[in-house]
Amino acid sequence: AAPAPVILVPGTAGSQLQARLDKPSVTHFYCSRHSAWYTIWLDVSQLLPEAINCWCDNIRLLWHNKSQTYTNNVGVYTRTPGWGDTHSIEYLDPGLKAGAYFHDLVEALVTVGGVRNASIR
């Protein structure tokens, strides 16, 4: 018999997040104003000196008191890659295999007959 389906629910910071920039201005001359989609959470190279200044501005949320809501910073667009797929939660930083998050659990479930993105989501 096939194993029962499993739905994995990552913690608050446990899913990858991508961003695209089309900013009217930047906080530092070395920060990008425009970009294609890239991993903003989490790419540890963005936490290095100087790069972190750009990252902080790009990941910053703006509070709107009147509507009681947050939005992305001006000119920053975000999306979650592979919503419902396991690849976006298996590693916190997709470029750093040492950052395994749910990878070992997904592998264990595959070993007993689970299927990524079908019975394991």
Q: Is residue 56 part of a domain?
A: yes
73-94: b (≥16 Cβ within 10 Å) or e: beebeeeeeeeeebebbbbbbe
For 62-89, write each residue's pLDDT tens digit: 999 999 999 999 999 999 998 889 988 8
Please tell me the total count of domains within the chain: 1
**Residue 100: which pLDDT band, with cuts at 50, 70 and 90?**
confident
Q: Give Cα 35 to chain centroid, integer Å.
A: 16
For 42-62, write each residue's pLDDT tens digit: 888 999 999 999 999 999 999
Q: Is residue 1 part of a domain?
A: no
Q: Is residue 116 part of a domain?
A: no
Q: Is residue 58 part of a domain?
A: yes
pTM of the model: 0.83
Q: Whole domain around residue 42: which residue ranges? A: 17-107
